[in-house]
């Protein structure tokens, strides 16, 4: 689940004392205990914490694309950050 906090770098403390840091205003987790606690306050009136299903889907697609790119051989010009890496063919000449 993706959670967004209006304050970048915000910290939330769990009942067990664990600290959650919203680096860049985002916190991502699959931990059911954390999800349960954050859902108690997310999207409520007066809170600065919201869930973002669109961001979760966007992140899932980016990770999938990165995995596909990583599986390609370097000779196919893998894409990094939306730009094709400059790979050139070389010839071996025997003397």
* Predicted pLDDT of residue 75: 63
Instruction: Say whether pLDDT at 86 is over 80.
Output: no
Query: What's the pLDDT band for 79 if we cut at 50, 70, 90?
Result: low
Express as a percent the part of the chain with pLDDT over 90: 36
The three-state secondary structure class of 80 is strand
Read off the pTM: 0.56
Query: What's the pLDDT band for 12 if we cut at 50, 70, 90?
Result: very high
The residue with tokens 């004392």 is 17
**Nearest Cα to 56, choosing from 3, 11, 8?**
3
Instruction: Map out the domains of the chain as residue ranges.
Output: 2-73
Q: What does the mean pLDDT of the chain come to? A: 79
Strand partners, 35: none
Structure tokens at 58: 């966007």
């Amino acid at each position: 689940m993706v959670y967004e906090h209006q304050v970048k770098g915000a910290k939330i403390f769990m009942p067990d004392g664990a600290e959650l840091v919203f680096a860049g205003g985002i916190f991502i987790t699959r931990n059911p205990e954390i999800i349960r606690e954050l859902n108690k306050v997310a999207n409520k009136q007066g809170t600065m914490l919201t869930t973002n299903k669109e961001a979760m889907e966007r992140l899932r697609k980016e990770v999938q694309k990165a995995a596909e790119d990583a599986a390609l051989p370097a000779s196919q010009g893998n894409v990094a950050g939306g730009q094709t890496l400059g790979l050139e063919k070389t010839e071996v000449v025997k003397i």
